[in-house]
Amino acid sequence: MMISVVATGLVCAQSKSRPSTRRPATSAQKPSAKSEAAFNDLAKRAEEASAAEKLDEALPLYQQALRLRPTWAEGWWRVGTILYEKDVYAEARDAFRRLVALEPKQGAAWAMLGLCEFQTREFERAAVSLQRGRALGIAGNQQLNSVVRYHTALVYARLEQFEIAFEILREFLREGNESPKVIEAFGLTMLRLPFLPNEVPPDRREQVLIAGRAGFNMAARRMDEARKAFNELVARYPEAPNTHYAFGVYLRTGCKF
């Protein structure tokens, strides 16, 4: 495959996501007659190298082919996913921007663009791209859907749009996803912390996880379990900012966070 695949469910670390990025089939653009032979040769060799997971060989071949045919959407997808795999996020972002310009209704392309913008810390752009990918749909790719949902929530928390982040995280309840990463993200929204997970101070990490468990249980309407977690949160961190605010949200029975 072009890019490493995360395990079932959301297990990716915030610092490096590995969604499956198999691109939905689309009609290819015809190359110009002048460069057809050269393009076809480069594209074939690039695909062979890619299939053999020789990404260092495949990348320059795709790039050469794209110089001959800049409208080759599949080529931009391949270049973008290879660069993402190699952690070259700024160049991967640029490749996906070229792709969405060619195929503006391709949800997976917008999703990958948003993930790249997340990594380059262009959070406002990432929010727009990720939400557009979600709106257009990422058909048949549950892994990418989960990764995009998670990063969209993180982006909104980072932008201090905590209510939006919370509502996005609630979507994980349908999957029964209670992974540590999801719980941690809930904690950031409950405590209204505009941090990414790797930015949380070490002395606040346990507090975030307790708040996250409380928030997840509240969202799942497991109110007794939520109350226990909130009680622990208030008892252990009575002076911490937003601890009592989060507990107050819980006490407003039937409210929408």
| pLDDT value at residue 8 | 29
Angstrom distance (rounded) from CA 18 to CA 8: 11
Q: Rounded to the nearest 5 degrees, what angle is found at the Cα of 197, between the Cα atoms of 136 and 208?
A: 115
CA distances from 231 to 16, 191, 246 (A): 34, 15, 11
In sequence order, the β-bridge partners of residue 16 are 13
The Cα–Cα gap between 29 and 99 comes to 13
Residue 84, classed as helix, strand or coil, is helix
Mean pLDDT (whole number) for 221-237: 93
Average pLDDT on 61-77 reads 96
Residue 249: what pLDDT?
82
Domains and CATH numbers, the chain: 36-139 (1.25.40.10), 161-257 (no CATH)
Q: Look at residue 30 in the predicted model and tell me its pLDDT.
A: 57
| pLDDT reported for residue 164 | 97
pLDDT at 21 over 70: no
> In this predicted structure, what is the pLDDT of residue 252?
77
Across the range 175-202, mean pLDDT stands at 95
Q: What is the mean pLDDT of residues 59-64?
A: 97
pLDDT band at 13 (very low <50, low <70, confident <90, very high): very low
Q: How far is CA 168 from CA 110, 121, 129, 151, 227, in A?
A: 18, 20, 15, 10, 22
pLDDT bracket for residue 2 (50, 70, 90): very low
Q: What integer is the mean pLDDT of 238-245?
A: 89
What are the structure tokens assigned to 77, written together?
């997808």
With cut-offs at 50, 70 and 90, classify the pLDDT of residue 253. low
Long-range contacts, 67-72 (Cβ 8 Å, 24+): 68/31, 68/35, 68/38, 68/39, 68/42, 69/29, 69/31, 69/32, 69/35, 69/39, 70/98, 71/29, 71/102, 72/28, 72/29, 72/31, 72/39, 72/43
For position 90, what pLDDT does the model report? 98
Calculate the CA 22 to chain-centre distance. 15
For residue 65, is pLDDT > 60? Answer: yes
Contact 217, 246 (CB under 8 A): no
